Amino acid sequence: MSASALPSPPFDLQVEKCILGSVLRDPNCMADVTAMVLAEDFYSPRHRDLFKIMIELEAQQQGRCDPLTVGHEVQRRNKEEELGGTDYMGECMMAVPSNAFLENHLKIVRDLSIRRALLKASESIQGSVFDGDADGDVEELVGQAEKAVFGVGERLVGKEMISVAELIDSNLDGLLSGEAKEESLKTGYYDLDEKSAFRPGDLVVLAARPGMGKTAFALNLLERVAVQDNKAVLMFSLEMPRDQLVVRLLSSLARVSHDSLRRHRLQANDRSRLTTAGSALRDTVIHVDDSSQPSLSQIRAKARRLKREGKLDLLIIDYLQLLQAKAESRQNEVSLISRTLKSIARDLEVPVLALAQLNRKAEDRSDHKPMLSDLRESGSIEQDADMVMMLMREDYYNETEENRDKAMLSIAKNRHGSTGEISLRFNKRFMRFENDDVHAQAIAPTASVTAFDDA
């Protein structure tokens, strides 16, 4: 085939412009961009040189790639005519539909760059074959070809592969000495902590029927992790507005009746409790996103941003079935969602707590106890999750003196430990789950008591 008949190399200048525009619109995303693409991945020389300037500015100080700073640097180097100056940067910014698509754009540019590299490698291999001596060493030719192709694929291999010897060296000493790092987050629920829940990279599913208190329990976990353990939490609330979430948090933390707080019927000492609780929450690192339909890409991008800033130790999704993704069927859609959430947990090395609805089968049973098969719409939730917790309150169906305020958290699946049932107590006034023991029943009598005193 003649050189003139060869197809043009694959590239997409519009997507390259979108990546540059995303950085100019939000300089804080530059770290995400450089983690996935190189300057050489840009096909256009103009785009490549602009990106090199951005890399240098980012190296000097994080977040410097705003339009004015980049434009000034282009002008200082006398490259306005070559790179387009501020007019072209404005064009790049206008090309970006939303930064939520940045991850997709990065993958496109990286993949197209790898395709071009493969074409170049194949041309090199063909040249070696045609130009070489007919009686030359074929094994050497094959070796050169392998080296050329494998060199292109090296970027896709990354650092995922590691030898067992390295793993032994990094883990055995800590295990033998008893000084191995405890990775799981502490929730303050004693029996749950014994199950080694909420480890970095874990997908934890909290499932229940409506009305059992899934959101209340998730907020209790958030409150305990953020206030007691000073960890950073991001919560996506697809069902409940952020103002209502804050009211619930204040009610639980201050031990002020949720109904009284909502109706503005406060008792004499309620205000001091609320002020103390507000101060405690104000000092935490909690972020709430109440977008009604965030995409999986948006969730990943926002979580990654906080993780990069050192402000993410736990990600909460309320709730899984309200998320959407493009798929042929609802079952495939939920499967894609659960796999993506697991991927986010592993990539960011944080636990992800995803709330989920159960179907009505549990209500048809005499004891109303939920089972793994009750997870709605897809068995992949059970498959992808490292831990599945199922919450049930018998007094919701038939309240008696024996079951009043009692709750059962069933650990139906646990990759890191045992399964079983955990007894809790639910205080309806404060929307608060407590440890089920004699020390966990009383409500804190004064506002000066810390938020997590179960006595």
SS3 content of the chain, % helix, strand, coil (to 5): 50, 15, 35
Averaged pLDDT, 142-157: 69
Mean pLDDT taken over the chain: 81
Domain co-membership, 30 together with 117: yes
Domain region containing 309? 190-435
Confidence of residue 303 (pLDDT cuts 50, 70, 90): confident
* One domain, residues 197 and 342: yes
Secondary element (H or E) of residue 407: strand 406-414
What pLDDT is recorded for position 132?
A: 64
Check residues 146 and 415 and name the one with the higher pLDDT. Answer: 415
In this prediction, residue 454 carries a pLDDT of 41
> Is there a domain that residue 252 lies in?
yes
Residue 375, number of CB atoms within 10 A of its CB: 26
Q: Does 443 map to a domain?
A: no
Peptide bond between residue 397 and the one before it cis (omega within 30 degrees of 0)? no
pLDDT of amino acid 163:
75
Q: Kindly report which listed range (277-291, 304-318, 327-341) carries the lowest average pLDDT score.
A: 327-341
Flag whether 441 is in a domain.
no
Task: Give the side-chain half-sphere CA count within 13 A for 419.
Answer: 13
126 plus 274 within the same structural domain: no
Q: What is the pLDDT of residues 418-435, one digit of tens each?
A: 888 888 888 888 888 888
One domain for residues 236 and 99:
no
What's the whole-number mean pLDDT along residues 298-327? 84
Best CA proximity match to 396, nearest among 373, 432, 437, 367: 367
Could you give the residue numbers annotated as active site? Answer: 239
Supply the pLDDT for residue 161.
67
Is residue 101 scored above 80 in pLDDT?
Answer: yes
- The residue-averaged pLDDT of 380-400 equals 84
Answer whether residue 451 is part of any domain: no
Residue 130: give its domain's CATH number.
Answer: 1.10.860.10
Using the 3D structure, point to which of 108, 134, 157 is the last residue of a domain.
157
CATH number at residue 406: 3.40.50.300
Most confident of 42-51, 151-160, 182-191, 278-287: 42-51
In a domain, 382, yes or no: yes
Q: Is residue 162 in a domain?
A: no
> Which carries the bigger pLDDT value, residue 106 or residue 446?
106
The pLDDT value given to residue 30: 86
Same domain for 215 and 112, yes or no, is no
Residue where a domain stops, chosen among 138, 157, 176: 157
- What is the model's pLDDT at position 156? 62
Q: What is the pLDDT of residue 162?
A: 73
Q: In this predicted model, what pLDDT tens digit does every residue of 353-383 receive, in sequence order?
A: 999 888 877 777 777 788 787 776 656 788 8
Closest to 447 in 3D by CA, of 249, 256, 229, 265: 256
Assess whether pLDDT exceeds 60 at residue 159: no
Question: Are 278 and 414 within one domain?
Answer: yes
In a domain, 104, yes or no: yes
Mean pLDDT, to the nearest integer, of 240-262?
A: 83
Residues 248 and 113 in one domain: no
pTM of the entire predicted model: 0.67
Same domain, 392 and 295: yes
Does residue 118 share a domain with residue 54? yes
319 and 214 part of one domain = yes
Please indicate, yes or no, if residue 68 is contained in any of the structural domains.
yes
Measured at the CA of 181, the angle between CA 176 and CA 183, to 5 degrees, comes to 135
Our count of domains for the chain comes to: 2
Do 260 and 324 fall within a single domain? Answer: yes
Q: Are residues 302 and 378 in the same domain?
A: yes
